[in-house]
Amino acid sequence: QVSVINTVDTSHEDMIHDAQMDYYGTRLATCSSDRSVKIFDVRNGGQILIADLRGHEGPVWQVAWAHPMYGNILASCSYDRKVIIWKEENGTWEKTYEYTGHDSSVNSVCWAPHDYGLILACGSSDGAISLLSYTGDGQWEVKKISNAHTIGCNAVSWAPAVVPGSLIEQPSSQKPNYVKRFASGGCDNLVKIWKEEDSQWKEEQKLEAHSDWVRDVAWAPSIGLPTSTIASCSQDGRVFIWTCDDASGNSWSPKLLHKFNDVVWHVSWSITANILAVSGGDNKVTLWKESVDGLWACISDVNKGQGGVSAMTEGQQNEQ
């Protein structure tokens, strides 16, 4: 059972494209076609506007919160080809960095696991993916992967940080040997996995299964199992779950979650990775869970599932 505990009236003057809670669920960031990014304090069912950030010159597609250990930092990307990083200093939110290195709309931004430092991946319609790394003192270093996807890149998602080998506490002066990876989805119908080797980003895997543009990718959080899981969704109406069993990341196998009747726009995992939310063009959000026999079951239909969770949908007359 679900219940609405708060309805935040954002007063955006145009369509909202993304809304994200911060790490603790105390703040909400929204972005819209009206070119603004707004931040609200939503504690205890309230809605206090903290900031109305202007800086973009076109619709803002996505926002992403950085890990709180770096302070209160929010990234936004827009049709205006810019990525802006906003930071809260002395109680006020300001633009702290603006990246204009793309030739076309930037569609997706995603912060890397905090263990890697403050790094932002950005995917753009110019087909490139940029990686912005904070090096200190207000400086950001840029690495660009040109032609990551032909025609355009629509989504980026980082793999969880996993330290290969030992779990012994390391002295802080030594950075553990993380293998950094992220996944991207593009207009070439592909999902690609990128790996950092010798400070260079290389394409590690090409996952082919979709027959139309990939709209979103989401790498599942790790619950300590040796398997990695990625969800991808596409204009072809399909959602695939990709799993890789070995640590070297070589063999990925897709499993079709479902074929929807319309474009599927978003996929996202819950924090313990046990539920996948799928936003489709058919006005529904469906929630999926893996069942006993490894098959994925839609728990929006309560009779089939094991939990009391329902899907959320709008009251359409032709809904059954």
Partner 1 sequence: PPQVVPGADPSARQLCFAWGPAEVLVCETRFGRAGRAGAGARVLTGSVADSAGEAPGSSRVFVVRRDQDIYIQTLRKLFNESHGIFMGLQRSEEELAGKSRKAQLVQVSKNYRSVIRACMEDMHQAAVSTRDPALQGQYSTQVSILSAMELIWNLCEILFVEAAAAGPLLLRLLDWVRLHVCDVDSMVREVLSSENPSKHKLFWNVVDVFVLQGRMDEARHLLSKEATANPTSMNMYKILDDLMKKMPMPSLGNTQTLTELELKWQHWHEECQRFLQDGTFASNPHMESICKILLGDEDAILEKKELMTTWYHFLVTRLLYSNPTVKPMELRFYAQSSMDLFLGGESSPEPLDMILMAAFEFEMHQVIKECSIVLSNWWFVAHLTDLLDHCKLLQSHNLYFGSNMREFLLLEYASGLFSHHSLWQLGVDYFDHCPEYGRVYLELHIERIPLNTEQKALKVLRICEQRQMHEQVRSICKIMAMKALRNNRLGSALSWSIRAKDAAFATLISDRFLKDYCERGCFSDLDLIDNLGPSMLLSDRLTFLGKYREFHRLYGEKRFPEAARLLLTLMTAHIAPCSFWMTLLTDALPLLEQKEIIFSAEQTYELMRCLEDLTAGNVDKQKFQEDDETTKVEMLRLALARNLARVIVKEGTVEGS
Footprint on residues 274-303 left by partner 1 (CB under 8 A)? 274, 277, 279-281, 283-285, 289-292, 294, 300-303
Alpha-carbon Rg of the chain, whole angstroms?
19
- The Cα 179–Cα 177 span in angstroms is 6
State the minimum distance, in angstroms, from the CB of residue 302 to partner 1: 6
CB contact at 8 A, 278 and 257: yes
Q: Which one, 103 or 203, has the nearer CB to partner 1?
A: 103
- Here's the x/- map for partner 1, 37-56, by CB under 8 A: it reads as -----x--x-----------
SS3 68: helix
104 sits near partner 1 (criterion: CB under 8 A): yes
* Binding positions for partner 1, 74-93, rule CB under 8 A: 79, 88-90
211 sits near partner 1 (criterion: CB under 8 A): no
- The Cα 320–Cα 308 span in angstroms is 19
261 sits near partner 1 (criterion: CB under 8 A): no
CB contact at 8 A, 141 and 135: yes
Q: Which residues contact 81 (CB under 8 A, 6 or more apart)?
A: 100, 102, 103, 104, 105, 106, 124
26 sits near partner 1 (criterion: CB under 8 A): yes
What is the biggest distance separating any 2 CA atoms in the chain, rounded to whole angstroms?
Answer: 61
**Which residue among 92, 139, 166, 173 contacts partner 1 (CB under 8 A)?**
173
**Which residue among 143, 255, 258, 266 contacts partner 1 (CB under 8 A)?**
266
Distances (CA, A) of 132 to 1, 140, 271: 41, 6, 25
Using the rule CB under 8 A, give the single segment among 12-20, 140-148, 195-203, 237-245 that binds partner 1.
12-20
Q: Which one, 90 or 200, has the nearer CB to partner 1?
A: 90
8 sits near partner 1 (criterion: CB under 8 A): yes
- The Cα 95–Cα 151 span in angstroms is 30
Q: Which one, 13 or 208, has the nearer CB to partner 1?
A: 13
CB contact at 8 A, 185 and 127: no
State the minimum distance, in angstroms, from the CB of residue 190 to partner 1: 15
CB contact at 8 A, 28 and 71: no
**Which residue among 39, 93, 125, 240 contacts partner 1 (CB under 8 A)?**
125
**Which residue among 165, 224, 248, 261 contacts partner 1 (CB under 8 A)?**
224
State the DSSP code for 174. S
Using the rule CB under 8 A, give the single segment among 3-11, 200-208, 243-251, 253-261 that binds partner 1.
3-11
- The Cα 71–Cα 317 span in angstroms is 46
State the minimum distance, in angstroms, from the CB of residue 257 to partner 1: 15
Q: Total binding residues for partner 1 by CB under 8 A? A: 102
* Binding positions for partner 1, 133-172, rule CB under 8 A: 151-152, 154, 169, 171-172
**Which residue among 100, 250, 253, 272 contacts partner 1 (CB under 8 A)?**
272
SS3 166: coil
- The Cα 118–Cα 136 span in angstroms is 10
- The Cα 21–Cα 145 span in angstroms is 29
**Which residue among 49, 52, 70, 203 contacts partner 1 (CB under 8 A)?**
70
223 sits near partner 1 (criterion: CB under 8 A): yes
